[in-house]
C-alpha cells in the first residue's frame, strides 16, 4: 500500500478499484460501526487555498469515523505568513497528527510534502496539477450512476487547460478503457496535448470543439467545469472567456436518457439553476459521495481494514 495519495498517475487500475470497493463497503456500514474505526487518530487539514467541499467533506469523513481534526483554512492563519518555510511547516505538523490533507496553489507541493513527511500525505489539490481525491469520488459517482466506467463516452466542458479535476480524471478514465472523449473549450483553454499522449494512439479518440451543443446528445457523462479566474496570469484573458458556456435545462432535450451532468463545483454561471431539477443533475449527489470516498481514503492510508 502506498503511504501517500498524490497523483492519479501513481495508481494502477487495480489500486483505483480498491478505493472504489472500499467506498462501497464504507457506504454499507452502519453509522455506529463506522464511528469506531478511527478513534484516537487525528487528521490535519492544511488548506493554503480556499475550499468548501474538499476541506469540509474530509473533516466530515474524519468525524464520522470517530477521529479528530486539526488544521487551518488559509495561509494567513499560519506561520508561513511570518516567513516559515513549507517544509518546516510539514516537519512541525507531522508531530501533531496521523495523516495530513494538503491543498496548495503550488504544483508539486503535495509531492514535496510526501517526500519529507513520515506520515501519510493526501493531495487535496495542487495548483492546476492534480486533485486525486476528487477523481476517486468522480469515478465512484460514475460507477454508481451508470453501473460501469469502462466504455462510456465523456465530454469535458470549460477550462480544460487549468482544471486539475479534468487533468486527474481524464487520465484515470483512460486507465479504465474509456476511449472516446469530447473536449469542449475555447481555443485558449484547450486541454494540453500531453494529456492525450499515450502508447496506444489509435485506441483513444479526442474530439475537440468550441460548441457545447455538439456534445450533449453524444455523451454519457457531461463533466462541466468552472472557468477559474484565479488561475489566469492575465485577467484580460479571463474576461474574454469567462462566460463561454452555460448549460440550461432546455439544452438537455436531446440528451441520452441516462446522461449525468457532473461538476466538481463550485459553479459560477456554467450550469443554470433550472438544470438542478432535471433527472440529469448529478453534481450534488457527487458532492455527497465525496464524504464516503474520503472516509475510504482515510481508512486506507491509516491502514484500517473493514
Q: Which residues bind ligand CP (CB under 6 A)?
A: 51-54, 125, 134, 264-266
Minimum CB–partner distance for residue 60 and ligand CP (Å):
12
Minimum CB–partner distance for residue 190 and ligand CP (Å):
22
* CA-angle at 288, arms to 69 and 34, nearest 5°: 55
Nearer Cβ to ligand CP (51/128)? 51
Minimum CB–partner distance for residue 209 and ligand CP (Å):
25
Minimum CB–partner distance for residue 207 and ligand CP (Å):
26
Nearer Cβ to ligand CP (7/51)? 51
Nearer Cβ to ligand CP (17/53)? 53
**Is 212:245 a contact under the CB 8 Å cutoff?**
yes
Minimum CB–partner distance for residue 279 and ligand CP (Å):
23
Closest CA to 186 of 239, 234, 233: 239
Minimum CB–partner distance for residue 59 and ligand CP (Å):
11
CA distances from 47 to 76, 80, 158, 286 (A): 10, 12, 25, 21
CA distances from 41 to 254, 276, 297, 302 (A): 49, 38, 14, 9
Nearer Cβ to ligand CP (51/109)? 51
Minimum CB–partner distance for residue 53 and ligand CP (Å):
4
Nearer Cβ to ligand CP (151/266)? 266
**Is 48:100 a contact under the CB 8 Å cutoff?**
no
Closest CA to 38 of 64, 16, 66, 18: 66
As a whole number of angstroms, the distance between CA 179 and CA 164 comes to: 20
Strands (DSSP E) contained in 225-283 are 260-262
Nearer Cβ to ligand CP (37/170)? 170
Query: Where do we find the cell 469542449?
Result: 184
Minimum CB–partner distance for residue 257 and ligand CP (Å):
27
Closest CA to 165 of 51, 46, 24, 64: 51
Nearer Cβ to ligand CP (141/244)? 141
Query: Which three cell numbers mark 132?
Result: 486525486
Residues 6+ apart with CB under 8 A from 32: none
As a whole number of angstroms, the distance between CA 206 and CA 185 comes to: 13
DSSP one-letter code for 191: P
Nearer Cβ to ligand CP (266/303)? 266
Amino acid at each position: 500500500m502506498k503511504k501517500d495519495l498524490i497523483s492519479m498517475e501513481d495508481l494502477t487500475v487495480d489500486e483505483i478499484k480498491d478505493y472504489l470497493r472500499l467506498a462501497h463497503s464504507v457506504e454499507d456500514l452502519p453509522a455506529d460501526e463506522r464511528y469506531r474505526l478511527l478513534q484516537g487518530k487525528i487528521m490535519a487539514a492544511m488548506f493554503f487555498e480556499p475550499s468548501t467541499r474538499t476541506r469540509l467533506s474530509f473533516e466530515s469523513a474524519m468525524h464520522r469515523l470517530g477521529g479528530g481534526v486539526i488544521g487551518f483554512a488559509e495561509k494567513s492563519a499560519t506561520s508561513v505568513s511570518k516567513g516559515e518555510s513549507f517544509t518546516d511547516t510539514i516537519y512541525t505538523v507531522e508531530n501533531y497528527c496521523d495523516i495530513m490533507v494538503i491543498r496548495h496553489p503550488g504544483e508539486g507541493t503535495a509531492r514535496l510534502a510526501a517526500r519529507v513527511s513520515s506520515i501519510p500525505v493526501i493531495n487535496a489539490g495542487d495548483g492546476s496539477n492534480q486533485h486525486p481525491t476528487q477523481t476517486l469520488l468522480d469515478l465512484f459517482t460514475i460507477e454508481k450512476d451508470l453501473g460501469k466506467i469502462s466504455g462510456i463516452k465523456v465530454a469535458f466542458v470549460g477550462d480544460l487547460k487549468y482544471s486539475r479535476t479534468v487533468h486527474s480524471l481524464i487520465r484515470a478514465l483512460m486507465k479504465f478503457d474509456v476511449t472516446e472523449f469530447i473536449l469542449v473549450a475555447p481555443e485558449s483553454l484547450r486541454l494540453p496535448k500531453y494529456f492525450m499522449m499515450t502508447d496506444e494512439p489509435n485506441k483513444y479518440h479526442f474530439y475537440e470543439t468550441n460548441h457545447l451543443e455538439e456534445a450533449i446528445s453524444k455523451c454519457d457523462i457531461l463533466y462541466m467545469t468552472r472557468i477559474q479566474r484565479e488561475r489566469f496570469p492575465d485577467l484580460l484573458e479571463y474576461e474574454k472567456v469567462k462566460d463561454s458556456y452555460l448549460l440550461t435545462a432546455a439544452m438537455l432535450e436531446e440528451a441520452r436518457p441516462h446522461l449525468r451532468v457532473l461538476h466538481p463545483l463550485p459553479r459560477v454561471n456554467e450550469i443554470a439553476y433550472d438544470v438542478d431539477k432535471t433527472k440529469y443533475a448529478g453534481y450534488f449527489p457527487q458532492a455527497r459521495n465525496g464524504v464516503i470516498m474520503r472516509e475510504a481514503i482515510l481508512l486506507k492510508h491509516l491502514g484500517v481494514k473493514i
